[in-house]
Amino acid sequence: MKLRRYLVRALHRLQKGPGYTYKELLVWYCDNTNTHGPKRIIKEGPKKKLIWFFLTLLFASLVFWQWGILINTYLSYNVTSSLSIGFKTMKFPAVTVCNANPFKYSEVKPLLKELDRLIEAALERILQPGNSSDNVSPPLDLELWNQIPLVLIDEHDKDNPIILDIFETNQTAPVGRGPCQGPCHAQAQSCLLCPQCSQQGSGNCTYRNFSSAAQAVTEWYILQSTSILSKVPLHDRIRMGYQAEDMILACLYGAEPCNYKNFTQIYHPDHGNCYIFNWGMDEEALNSSNPGAEFGLKLILDISQQDYIPYLSSAAGARLMLHQQKSFPFLKDQGIYAMAGTETSIGVLVDELERMGYPYSDCTVNGSDVPVQNLYSQYNTSYSIQACLRSCFQNHMVQICGCGHYMFPLPEGVNYCNNEDFPGWAYCYSSLRSSIKQRQICIDSCKETCNDTQYKMTISMADWPSEASEDWIFHILSYERDMSTNVTLDRNGIIKLNIYFQEYNYRTISESAATTV
Amino acid sequence: AATAPGKKITARLKRTLPVRGPQAPTLSELMRWYCLNTNTHGCRRIVVSRGRLRRLLWILLTLSAVGLILWQCAELLMNYYSASVSVTVQFQKLPFPAVTICNINPYKYSAMKEYLSELDKETKKALETFYGFSEGKSKVRRSVDDWNSTGSDFFQQIPLLKVEDFSRTATDLRSGQKRRVEGSVFHKDSSIVNGDSNDIIGFQLCDANNSSECALYTFSSGVNAIQEWYKLHYMNIMAQIPLETKEKLSYSADDLILTCFFDGLSCDKRYFTRFHHPLHGNCYTFNSGENGTILSTSTGGSEYGLHVVLYIDEADYNPFLVTSTGAKIIVHDQNEYPFIEDIGTEIETAAATSIGMHFTRSRKLSKPYSDCTETGADIPVDNLYNKSYSLQICLHSCFQKAMVESCGCAQYAQPLPAGAEYCNYKKNPNWMYCYYRLHEKFVKEQLGCQQICKDACSFKEWALTTSIAQWPSTVSEDWMLRVLSWDKGQKLNKKLNKTDLANLMVFYKDLNERFISENPANTLVILLSNFGGQLGLWMSCSVVCVIEIVEVFLIDSLSIVLRRQWQRAKKWWSHRQRGGAGTAAPASHLERQGHANPACLDEDLPTFTTALRLPLPQDSPLPRTPPPNYSTLRLESAFSEQLPDTLELGRR
């Protein structure tokens, strides 16, 4: 009832209208408002009135325009960055050291014996085509060969290139307009190809052509050995790699001695056994509160170059990488080499970038909002863009080829590719790898992390050990490792590393919102 | 009909001096009116406050507020052209930079024999005579006479001297003559001051036109002296050889690049563009963008970058010109000129050099924020290089320009300006002296180049992390060298040595692009907002209020003063005309006009509450609050009554 009465009253009031005209109200407003423009309009003479009227109008539009700009600035979510440089006590980076060669040749020789004989015979044929020495005592196992043969293309006659399979008698099969459309078209007398067929015997083949035989042989060997090694169980592969006690001869962190037991072993598909110092998985990460080589990590490594697999890795040295605690080391991307017979000093500057998340910049805090299954989480490592890209590739590989690539971790219930179970995998892998579309999909779906830490390194090198000190150093190190008086080390295998913080050890760029509410 | 001059003047006055605004008769009344009506309450309080102390306080407060506003606004204005830096990181497909690769040795020594044999012979002779060095074969020491008979041009041009620093005498090593050192002595090594000074070697450059003007350049070590001396002659010789011949004398792409791999695929010499560098001979630029396409990388890591094996023919090196072996590379943008002699990275032989890159793009704000140039078009130095502007290009072009102006010919290491040609001592016998003098000046910043040239506003930078591994490893050395020799083909009849090879990998460490850009810290909007904030904070004032101040304090005050002066002048005039009979009628009329202004009739001082309610004049017909009904006509009449002067004007 009350409400009704109220409504009726309101209606009456509306019908009656206000007790004054709009003009009066306007004049009253103008007269009493705090903004003096309107007041002046009604109070001044006709000319001034006009001027004040336009001024007021102008200012009102200015105010609205500037409000528009301010709101736009806010909505563009700009950030301001602040930069700070200096020295502070920081967590010493995790240091991953690997041998450039993944396995000891003496250990994997039985597995690779057939392959090595094959490649040696092939090289023999390539280098001396005249005397085809078929007097090899045990016949070559050509099954491996037939899966991915190496062929030689003679392009003296440009219209009819002749394809020679190295192990067969001159098999001239002109391949249409030819696979040699690629780089080796110009003046090359011959180029080496490694054809990969999706199914044996089917015509669906691609030729990967190389302008250099050295490259072709290396690539071919990597494909073949990958296939062989993928069948070996993981613990055997770990056993075939370099052991911590053989590789890490001496270790000193600051003034405190450390040894191979302070390193965490991790199996890296490219480099075999890798050892990570200060990974922070089980124990607290070490801090370093002093700059300079005296307070850093000093290591002496032995890479025993004599035991390298000759066709697999042609560069010799240690591969090392500095990374954050609890992150996976992607040595192919961020790793550096250390040369045998030298002392490599690495001054470290930690370059941090702290960013605001969405909507200021497109980054992810822990990777949970990225639509790619992170395969590296099985190592208990944190999200990184490299992990995302590789997981993305492996997921695609599993989808398309049905098996996982040996270099990346496996999703559950999937096996690694090998020539026997998946005969067309090399073809599938090659086409996937060179597919620009696939790369673009991965680039678009992966996001970088909001807190990005990079280690800027200043690298310098010197010869080590010096000629004068060489004898006793080798003697002591050999004795400590093998308890024998024989010198088992030499210049080609030994590496000294110094990793330390520079005088300014951090540079932090942090973002904050430029405009806040 | 002749009207009275007084009336005429009044008429003109009314025409030309229209009276507007609060027609206060005196300044103090105007001020009073202003203070009572303004929004800045400080002023109002001054007038309204009772008691001297309070009024004084208010005056002080208002004045200090005005001072603060002025100070802060000045500060804001001065900081207007400051820039803030923002860093953005973007993960994306990155364009691969151009990579220029040179052999450290510019030309094949075997091919250069015909041009350099004379010079080399002389150099060897010099080494033999001065240092007793012989290459083992010729044990016979040549006598001084023998020297003269061969007529060594090179030593006549630039004599090598042994200098005794204290006696200021020099011994000509060829003739054995002693001569006094005239002119200035330039020490190339500063260590000379405390070193033993008996073994100083140097050469003398003289002005060919005026032989008394000489400059002596000394070196503490014979190695530097001989090399520098050799280089001068070498440049002379090279300047006379046409470019096409030089390109033939240097390495071809097939010579230098053995294998090439990019982004996991094989590539060959067609991916490389030749670029002739005056000091480094033929260099090859990978991905120069010359055919319109620029390669890009969508995956980081060493497998997906550029991977080349270079053939460094160490046996064919010039022994005097270069003393180190290897290659030199530089990573640069496609539009940038590769200054390989200045900022190149050297690559070792028998090693795999892996170079990881980080890409950073920077942009600075140009004038008035900082002194940089966008395109280089505003710099009075012609860009001699056919590439986009950089500081280095400007400095080199500037030096070359100065060289052509003062020496009449161009220096060999830099491109030719239009209409000039390279120096050689057949045409310009004086150039070397001139060049050294000019270079000295350039280094000491006396040529003004460093002042003229400015930074470029935007630049791309690739930060490199270089590391080295042994390559080939001892076990793979054998097959690697054999296969690479086969790759090299039939042209090479010897087996490759590992010290002839260098392995180079250039790749992106990650695909993050860092973009550092400067943004204006203040836009006009922010500046005005800050002004508004200051005005509001200290004075509760706005732009309108400021205009009011201008209106009242400048225009109105001025008009009042002028009016008064005019009246005084008129009085004086009429006094003179009529002999003091005239009265000051117009003045009183005007005064009345002023009093008639309703705004000025606020006689009763308002209390604080009435002040806030902005009291209207008592007798004003204007309504105080709605809803009193009133006709708009009355409003108009109120104006017409109060402003007779304006109406008068309107009628006219």
In CATH, what number does A83-103+242-512 get? 2.60.470.10
Answer positive or negative: Cα dihedral of B554, B555, B559, B562.
positive
| Residue that wins the pLDDT comparison between B329 and B511 | B329
**Chain centroid, CA B401 distance in Å:** 20
Least confident interval from B28-32, B342-346, B414-418, B540-544: B540-544
| Residue that wins the pLDDT comparison between A306 and B2 | A306
Half-sphere exposure of A197 (CA within 13 A, CB side): 12
* Beta carbons of B298 and A183 less than 8 Å apart: no
Pick among B255, B464, B481, B510 to test the A interface (most A CBs inside 10 A): B510
pLDDT reading at A177 higher than 60:
no
pLDDT recorded at residue B587 = 44
| Residue that wins the pLDDT comparison between B632 and A323 | A323
Average pLDDT value for chain A: 81
- pLDDT band at B650; cut points 50, 70, 90: very low
Q: How close does chain B come to A19, measured CA to CA in Å? A: 6
- List of chain A residues whose C-beta atoms are within 8 Å of the C-beta of residue B626: 19-20, 24-25, 28
| Residue that wins the pLDDT comparison between A251 and B181 | A251
* Beta carbons of B510 and A310 less than 8 Å apart: no
CA distance A143 to A148: 9
- List of chain B residues whose C-beta atoms are within 8 Å of the C-beta of residue A46: 646
Structure tokens at A102: 């993944």
Q: Is B411 exposed, middle or buried (0-12, 13-18, 19+ CB in 10 A)?
A: buried
If one counts every other C-beta atom within 10 angstroms of the C-beta of residue A33, the result is 12
Structure tokens at B360: 């950073």
Give the residue on B whose Cα is nearest the Cα of A79: B86
Write the pLDDT tens digit of every residue in A19-40. 666 677 777 777 766 667 777 7
Q: Which of B93, B265, B351 sits opposite A443 (nearest CB)?
A: B93
Q: Which of A25, A100, A214 sits opposite B483 (nearest CB)?
A: A214
CB–CB of A263/A275 below 8 Å?
A: yes
If one counts every other C-beta atom within 10 angstroms of the C-beta of residue B237, the result is 16
The average pLDDT across A419-430 equals 80
Write the pLDDT tens digit of every residue in B587-628. 444 444 444 444 444 444 444 444 444 444 444 444 444 444
Least confident interval from A76-80, A216-220, A344-348, B150-154: B150-154
Answer positive or negative: Cα dihedral of A387, A393, A399, A401.
negative
Residues ≥6 apart with Cβ < 8 Å to A382: A324, A326, A327, A366, A367
* Beta carbons of A338 and B260 less than 8 Å apart: no
Q: How close does chain B come to A111, measured CA to CA in Å? A: 18
H or E stretch covering A80:
strand A79-86
Least confident interval from A188-192, A405-409, B293-297, B472-476: A188-192
* Beta carbons of A434 and B625 less than 8 Å apart: no
* Beta carbons of B528 and A386 less than 8 Å apart: no
pLDDT reading at B396 higher than 50:
yes
Q: How close does chain B come to A461, measured CA to CA in Å? A: 9
* Beta carbons of B259 and A314 less than 8 Å apart: no
pLDDT reading at B642 higher than 70:
no
Model ipTM over 0.85? no
User: Of chain B residues 244-263, which have a CB less than 8 A from chain A?
Assistant: 258-261
The average pLDDT across B340-367 equals 90
CA distance B449 to B397: 9
Write the pLDDT tens digit of every residue in A444-489. 888 888 888 889 999 999 998 898 998 899 989 888 888 877 888 8
Give the residue on A whose Cα is nearest the Cα of B91: A448
Half-sphere exposure of A386 (CA within 13 A, CB side): 20
Half-sphere exposure of A346 (CA within 13 A, CB side): 29
pLDDT reading at B543 higher than 80:
no
Q: Where are the alpha helices (DSSP H) in A233-290?
A: 234-240, 244-247
- pLDDT band at B372; cut points 50, 70, 90: confident
pLDDT recorded at residue B366 = 82
Write the pLDDT tens digit of every residue in B489-505. 755 667 788 888 999 99
CA distance A516 to B9: 64
> Domain B371-456: which CATH class?
mainly alpha
What is the percent of chain A with per-residue pLDDT over 70, rounded to a whole number?
A: 84
pLDDT recorded at residue A77 = 78
- Look-up: residue for tokens 């990777």? A367
Q: B171-203 burial by CB neighbour count: b if 16+ within 10 A, else e?
A: eebbeeeeeebbeebebeeeebeeeeeeebbbb
B550 at A interface, C-beta within 8 A: no
pLDDT recorded at residue A296 = 92
* Beta carbons of B614 and A35 less than 8 Å apart: no
Q: Where in chain A is the domain with CATH 2.60.470.10?
A: 83-103+242-512
| Homologous superfamily of the B86-104+254-366+458-520 domain (CATH) | Acid-sensing ion channels like domains (2.60.470.10)
A306 at B interface, C-beta within 8 A: yes
pTM score? 0.77
| Residue that wins the pLDDT comparison between A61 and A419 | A61
- pLDDT band at B386; cut points 50, 70, 90: confident
Q: Which of B467, B479, B519 sits opposite A459 (nearest CB)?
A: B467
Closest CA relative to residue B302, chosen from B468, B465, B507: B507
Pick among A336, A457, A515 to test the B interface (most B CBs inside 10 A): A336
pLDDT reading at B648 higher than 70:
no
CA distance B123 to B127: 6
* Beta carbons of A32 and B614 less than 8 Å apart: yes
For chain B, domain boundaries: 25-82+534-560, 86-104+254-366+458-520, 116-132+154-240, 371-456
A207 at B interface, C-beta within 8 A: no
User: Of chain B residues 464-483, which have a CB less than 8 A from chain A?
Assistant: 465-476, 478-480, 482-483
pLDDT recorded at residue A220 = 84
